[in-house]
Chains A and B, each alone.
Chain A
Amino acid sequence: VTTGTITEPVSERTQITPDVFRDRALRIETEIGKVIVGQRGLIHQIITCLLAGGNALLEGVPGLGKTVLVKTLARVLDCEFNRVQFTPDLMPADIVGTNILVEDERGGKEFRFQQGPIFTNLLLADEINRATPKTQSALLEAMQEGTVTVARNNYDLPKPFFVLATQNPIEMEGTYPLPEAQLDRFLMKLLVEFPSAAELVAISDRTTSGYEAKAERVVSGRDILEMQMLARQTPIATHVTTYAVRILRATHPENEEATDSVRRYVRYGGSPRGLQAIILAAKIYALLDGRFNVAFRDIRNAVLPALRHRIILNFDGEAEGIRHDAVLSSVIEQVPENEP
């Protein structure tokens, strides 16, 4: 469907139109694409997560360009960027910051809060599963609340605030897998696929020939905030929302709408936060598609990244190596669209 041109602002609170939204998003994607070879889907999902105001967990083996991707994104957005390499000896204060004793000009001494690397617009938490749960918890709490509490003082994190955490799926020794409750705080869990042969050739050419691709700044942090606001105002019909609800309920094995694979392999299904993630992501998808309403297919597209880290497999599922995506795909397949 070719959409018309939507030029009017959505409301007084947002000064951008859906077309502007789409244009900005496309520009972001284009600029990132200048640096990152391939990974279009991943870039799309990361932008979706960013515009939805959420945080993303990237899972992939080292060397796939995760750090480069986040750096490029920060450059395109003209936002401050920090990277924290998580290690077992990393302490919470190393992330959120700490009070240090300083001497003022008159010789007096006082505690002054020294911001940690979390005080940034874009934070890359590399190999988050290598830090201790205590450190992980500090980061995830800050992600959820948008504030940092140190010595009874609350410190707001800058806006926009976007965390991209990565974890290596194959090196499990000496890691601390994120608990389910912590995983739930990520809007999306994105899988970084291994590049194709053509993409590998392109990567080789770009990185070994002295050619240095540069991404331009196309949007600001304020622009991102406007886009986030517009995304939340995107209308969604009741029966579409109900469709998302039914999908979510179908991931619960005890629910009567659960599919056979869910009943067999799932111990616990998606949380209400997962529903929020689906709806928000679907709205972004709709806007990126040039629509100002959510369609069923937007919901379907959002299910995998929004729920794959929110369902917990049971012993059978784990033992048989069932992938979360396979279970969710069966749910999408078997839950019919709602009639109004």
Chain B
Amino acid sequence: MDETRRQEIDALLRDAKSSLRTRERFKVLALLLPLGLALAGLLIGISRFTLLELPRWSPLVPVLAMVAGAFAWAATREVSHSQAAAYLDRAWGLDERLSTLTQLERRRAFTVLRPGDDLPLNLVAEDAWYAARKSNRQLPWVPRFEVSRSTLAGIALGAGMLLFALFAASPADRVRAEIASAQEALAAQLQQIAALRTEIEQLGIPENLKNSMLTELNNLEKALQAAGPDKSALRAALGDAQSKIGALTPERVNQWGEIIRASQALQEMARRTVLWQPPEVDDLTDLSSGALAAEAIGTGVDRVSVGLQAEMAQELDSLSRLVLAKSRTLATAFEEGSVSLYGRNMSRASQAFDAMAEELRRLEKRELSAQAVEQALARLEDGKQELLKDHSPEKRAQVGFNRGDRTPEQAGEESGGATSQPNAGAEGEGATATDGATGLDGGRSGVPGASAGSGETQQGSGTSPNTTGGAVEGDGPLQPVGPNAQPGGANGESSRGEAGTLDAPVAGNPGTVSGGITRVENPQGVGTGQSGQAGPTAGPNDRVYVPQAVPGARGSSEGGVNSGSEGAPAPMLPDSASTAGSEEEGSAVGGKLTEIRTPYREVLREYAERATEALENTFVPADARKLVRDYFSALGQ
């Protein structure tokens, strides 16, 4: 066989070797692929079914490793001449000519029957070359190879594992969503802390208090960041910060009622006596205005008529007793002024009024500090309440309260499967079952008739302030009247029991509130009123603490009938004017007359403290908290 033909055959064999190496790569890859797929599925499963965070590209690693391994293995594998020749024989149908030739060349494969015979190498080579040249055609890039059933089963299993890991529902998804929610809440808290810090820095409170609060906020920030996405840890950190910031000053805003009233009385006194007018400045506080009024009186007290001086002396004496418990200095100044006026010692009276002004300014700083602390505590409480929320849609649908900043329609939509009606809130029907103890009211959005339309039926006696300053006496079961008043259609048992228990410290005392708070004779704190029709916030899961609307506000109520017929918004805060004449008897609890008479000032503090305690220890929506706080603050004023 000549050299040219020999080289042609060698070239064919080289091509065949290359193809066989490619085939080997794919054969090994077919063997390794199930393992790669399974490992990829395992990694995806780990990242999906556990909270372990793996890089998103990690599942590609085993697959790529298998591919690389297959290529590396094929690169190191030696393909013999015989294998290449056999492959060509099969690919081109050469009837084993080339493989016989290669074996004859190696003097191995000659027939065992005549091992001593001369090898007919030349004959076979010529025949093989001729046949190969006739059949020469392009070899496939990847020669066909058989994949065993076990390999196919392995690939299917690996692919199945991968698909399962990819698409199976994972309980960790919810946990991850919760973590994301917590992280979001954490970011929001940090943002709020930063905003609060800015606000505190701008407040005119004592530097030491300011620094202490800022330090606590810094500590809180660190604690929140250290707590990570654990909501309970975040709440604990917020609660801890609350207690620490609350400890910075023992004073609270609701403790300044007497001082503020005294300040307001001074302003009224100045207007009456020296024709003083408070300056038109928005940022003046009551105490600051009171201080200005005291200074004005002090300056012009000698020009006041004798009769007015006597009235002033009497009033100052009264104010002295009013503020005695809060500020002895101010009480002394009031008393000094009263005595001076009685004694017609104008110089001394002027000094007394100056002392009042000085003390009021000092107290103003303390009030500002208290307000700052209160504000900080409220913000932190808001943060805690925010953390308690579940942001998932299902959970939201279960939240059964109507947020004041939402429209009734929104509330109805969020209530999911609750028996809400799109305009239920607009009709003023109680969002939540209302009872006499808790005073729940879903109509806080200010829709006319919201309060009266709750279908509330109260048993017990109570006096409510109204806009006209007169008390409303309840007597016997109250019946809703007015166009928007709808008797409760739903049974209020369930919400009544929960809410009543929740608010027992406030509402459970036998009718001791008059004038500002509906007095209820209900020792267990269990309400007895009927609920309104199922409203947009009829969800049963979340206990909602919403201040009760004052029955009969702006309306007339006679004989225990709470009239909301005017459709006016039920005031959530008592009018200041109403407090003066509100101390009248409530008369009926289920027809039973009571003789209890208690000035609301005597119980206001206790009630306010209990409400604050309830706010701090109980799950109450942030906006509702603010409402309760404002309510008692307003009562204090």
Contacts and interface: CB of A to CB of B under 8 A. Distances in A.
Contacts of A339: 83, 86
B131 A239 contact: no
A1 B135 contact: yes
B82 A11 contact: no
B108 interface: yes
A18 B113 contact: no
A208 interface: no
B296 interface: no
A1 B94 contact: yes
B56 interface: no
Interface stretch (A81-89, A157-165, A294-302): A294-302
Interface stretch (A43-51, A173-181, A229-237, A315-323): A229-237
Interface string A1-14: 11110101011110
Contact of A279 (B113, B117, B124): B113
Interface string A110-154: 000000000000000000000000000000000000000000000
B112 interface: yes
Contact of A6 (B86, B109, B117, B127): B127
Interface string A290-331: 011111111000000000000000000000000000000000
Contact of A340 (B82, B123, B124): B82
Contact of B127 (A238, A279, A291): A291
B134 A1 contact: yes
A239 B127 contact: no
B97 interface: yes
Nearest to A11: B118
Contacts of A215: none
A302 to B, nearest CB: 14
Give the one of A11, A240, A276, A293 with max B CB within 10 A: A293
B134 A235 contact: no
B97 A293 contact: yes
Contacts of B122: 8
A298 B111 CA distance: 15
B134 A2 contact: yes
B126 interface: yes
Contacts of B89: 295
A62 to B, nearest CB: 37
B124 A292 contact: yes
A168 interface: no
A10 B127 CA distance: 13
B94 A239 contact: no
A42 B612 CA distance: 114
B151 interface: no
Contacts of A280: 113
A303 to B, nearest CB: 16
A340 B99 contact: yes
Contacts of B131: 1-4
Contact of B126 (A4, A234, A239, A337): A4
A233 B96 contact: no
Interface string A210-235: 00000000000000000000001111
Given A11-B117, A279-B111, A293-B95, A237 B100 contact: yes
Interface string B55-93: 000000000000000000000000010110110011001
A20 to B, nearest CB: 12
A3 B130 contact: yes
A6 B126 contact: yes
B250 interface: no
A340 B123 CA distance: 21
Given A235-B110, A236-B109, 6 more contacts: A232-B113, A235-B103, A237-B82, A238-B103, A279-B111, A293-B97
Interface of B: 80, 82-83, 85-86, 89-90, 93-97, 99-101, 103-104, 108-114, 117-120, 122-124, 126-128, 130-131, 134-135
9 contacts: A2-B134, A235-B109, A237-B100, A239-B86, A239-B99, A279-B113, A292-B120, A295-B96, A337-B90
